[in-house]
Amino acid sequence: MPSELSNISTPPACIADFCLIPIGTPSASVSKEVAEVQRILKRSGLTYSMHSAGTTLEGSWDEVTKTIGQCHALLHANGVVRIQSDIRIGTRIDKKQTFDDKVAAVRKILESDEKTVGEA
Amino acid sequence: MPSELSNISTPPACIADFCLIPIGTPSASVSKEVAEVQRILKRSGLTYSMHSAGTTLEGSWDEVTKTIGQCHALLHANGVVRIQSDIRIGTRIDKKQTFDDKVAAVRKILESDEKTVGEA
Amino acid sequence: MPSELSNISTPPACIADFCLIPIGTPSASVSKEVAEVQRILKRSGLTYSMHSAGTTLEGSWDEVTKTIGQCHALLHANGVVRIQSDIRIGTRIDKKQTFDDKVAAVRKILESDEKTVGEA
Amino acid sequence: MPSELSNISTPPACIADFCLIPIGTPSASVSKEVAEVQRILKRSGLTYSMHSAGTTLEGSWDEVTKTIGQCHALLHANGVVRIQSDIRIGTRIDKKQTFDDKVAAVRKILESDEKTVGEA
């Protein structure tokens, strides 16, 4: 696999949100596996936040994607035979932005709605 | 379009998480569009929750998917020419579960970790 | 649930690509369920195309999302307790476009690369 | 970022399907960017296949996620300010499987349907 791209760097920052699904487990519950993912993320040292439909984490492209891969590897080591993740991953070069910044930007717009209504 | 499936019902309950992206807008910021989505969801009457990587909502399959489609339609009406959404949508027949229940189930497992550590 | 949005129409056309995952099935193989999805789509009358990571279909927003919901419902009826789908769904108002058009547009650009190389 | 996970390997094989969306580009068309992605993938040396809703590629977890990151980096270098990708990525430890194998497994089931019908 001698890639012609070997000297191209990946982005220094990204925000990724992933939803990991174990396949072929006997139970319809996935909370045990999701809890294990949270434990792994804690050990990663990256900033992360769980919500009901996935977990968001931020860091360099390489750190983030490696960490998600380590979640797959460690769950496989725990006996999960097959795993599928859906990852939404974003990069931008116009400014630095954390995942908290993204929510704050939307909230700020919505709050100005309420002020306008209040003033009317 | 005379579908042979016309008498098959869709699931009575689902949880969907969607991330809507406007395409071909002059700005790299999407917070204005995401705020508009929140206003539309408020009018829908469905239970929903925004996070940094999308918005989760719950209701019947038809209500939820129709509401996301209405978000597309209303943003188009506001001049957004093209829109792409990523939707993670889940249904289950073994029990009723809200999106708050899903997070609570994971948190409960993680809390028992901490108790075990504290006891050691 | 008296939605204030009840008179807002959803988009008349969309292209959706979905990847359906059964959860809590005893086997790590999902080919049986994916085959069942193809049978259901055939009965729907919509245009669709399977690839290794999902199935793309096109039609009105309501037809497309209803059909995917019927896939969930029919698999539940077959005994699959929990199902998660990832749906990428796009709408645009600047032109009509089928999913074949999308691939053709990219192929045309790539072919002109080859011509340029050949001419050099 | 001294990760406690530094000695955990990522999976040796995966299949990923990604849909890359440029944000804040003046045009609603994304075919130019998707063509560029195909050129980058060609240089990567990995096996890949484009369809109307994304591109599927296979290789080790590290190779595959690095290559997608390089697509982001090279498009940023071409002036695309913000990029969002949706990635469906799967790993399994019960058997080796290419993305062609996945489609073949479903087709085989569907063909046996037709034989059964033909025999009836």
Which of A84, A85, A88, A89 is best to mutate for the C interface (most C CBs within 10 A)?
Answer: A84
CA distances, A19 to each of A23, A34, B119 (Å): 13, 9, 32
User: What is the predicted pLDDT for the residue at C120?
Assistant: 47
* Helices within D1-120 (DSSP H only): 31-44, 61-77, 99-119
CA distances, A8 to each of A61, C72, D74 (Å): 13, 42, 8
User: What is the predicted pLDDT for the residue at C118?
Assistant: 56
Residue B21 is nearest to which of D27, D81, D84, comparing CB atoms? D84
- The Cα A119–Cα B36 span in angstroms is 20
| Helical pair D61-77 and D31-44, crossing angle rounded to 10 deg | 130
pLDDT in tens, B56-98: 999 999 999 999 999 999 999 999 999 999 999 999 999 999 9
Determine contact, residues B23/B81, Cβ cutoff 8 Å.
yes
Query: Is the pLDDT at B119 greater than 60, yes or no?
Result: no
Give, in degrees to the nearest 5, the angle at Cα D37 between D46 and D13: 30
Chain B partners within 8 Å of C81 (Cβ): 92-94
Query: Is the pLDDT at B120 greater than 50, yes or no?
Result: no
Judge whether A15 is closer than 8 Å to chain B, CB to CB.
Answer: yes
Percentage of residues of chain D with pLDDT beyond 90: 82
Judge whether A76 is closer than 8 Å to chain C, CB to CB.
Answer: no
CA distances, A94 to each of A91, A108, B4, D76 (Å): 10, 20, 50, 10
Q: What is the mean pLDDT of chain B?
A: 92
User: What is the predicted pLDDT for the residue at D119?
Assistant: 54
Buried b (16+ CB within 10 A) or exposed e, D44-75: bbbebbbbbbbbbbbbbbbbbbbbbbbbbbbb
User: What is the predicted pLDDT for the residue at C113?
Assistant: 85
Closest CA to C57 of B20, D14, D53: D53
User: What is the predicted pLDDT for the residue at A113?
Assistant: 85
List the domains of chain B with CATH numbers.
10-93 (3.30.70.930)
Chain A partners within 8 Å of C21 (Cβ): 21, 23, 84
Tell me whether residues C106 and D38 touch, CB distance under 8 A: yes
User: What is the predicted pLDDT for the residue at B6?
Assistant: 86
Closest CA to A45 of A29, A64, A30, A32: A64
Q: What is the mean pLDDT of residues D90-119?
A: 87
Judge whether A27 is closer than 8 Å to chain C, CB to CB.
Answer: yes
**Is the ipTM of this structure higher than 0.85?**
yes
CB atoms within 10 A of CB B92: 22
Burial of residue D111 (CB within 10 Å: 0-12, 13-18, 19+) is: exposed
User: What is the predicted pLDDT for the residue at A120?
Assistant: 47
Determine contact, residues C66/B66, Cβ cutoff 8 Å.
no
Q: What is the mean pLDDT of residues D5-9?
A: 91
Residue type, D16: A
Judge whether B97 is closer than 8 Å to chain A, CB to CB.
Answer: no
User: What is the predicted pLDDT for the residue at D6?
Assistant: 86
Determine contact, residues D36/A98, Cβ cutoff 8 Å.
no
Residue C50 is nearest to which of D29, D32, D103, comparing CB atoms? D103
Judge whether C65 is closer than 8 Å to chain B, CB to CB.
Answer: yes
Low-confidence residues of chain C, pLDDT below 70?
1-2, 117-120
Query: Is the pLDDT at B3 greater than 80, yes or no?
Result: no
**B4-7: Cβ within 8 A, 24+ apart:** B4/C43, B4/C44, B4/C45, B5/C40, B5/C43, B5/C44, B5/C67, B5/C70
Q: What is the mean pLDDT of residues B28-54?
A: 94
User: What is the predicted pLDDT for the residue at B97?
Assistant: 92
Determine contact, residues B22/B80, Cβ cutoff 8 Å.
yes
Closest CA to C74 of C38, C46, C48: C38
Tell me whether residues D110 and C38 touch, CB distance under 8 A: yes
User: What is the predicted pLDDT for the residue at B114?
Assistant: 78
**A96-99: Cβ within 8 A, 24+ apart:** A96/A13, A97/A15, A98/A15, A98/A47, A98/A58, A99/A15, A99/A47, A99/A49, A99/A56, A99/A58, A99/B52, A99/B53
Chain A partners within 8 Å of B85 (Cβ): none
User: What is the predicted pLDDT for the residue at C2?
Assistant: 56
Judge whether D8 is closer than 8 Å to chain B, CB to CB.
Answer: no
CA distances, B44 to each of B3, C2, D20 (Å): 28, 8, 30
Chain D partners within 8 Å of A68 (Cβ): 65, 89
Low-confidence residues of chain A, pLDDT below 70?
1-2, 117-120
Chain D partners within 8 Å of A14 (Cβ): 69, 72
Burial of residue C62 (CB within 10 Å: 0-12, 13-18, 19+) is: middle
Name subunits touching A (3+ CB pairs < 8 A).
B, C, D
Alpha carbon B3 to its chain centroid, in Å, reads 27
Handedness of CA D91, A89, D81, A58 (dihedral sign): negative
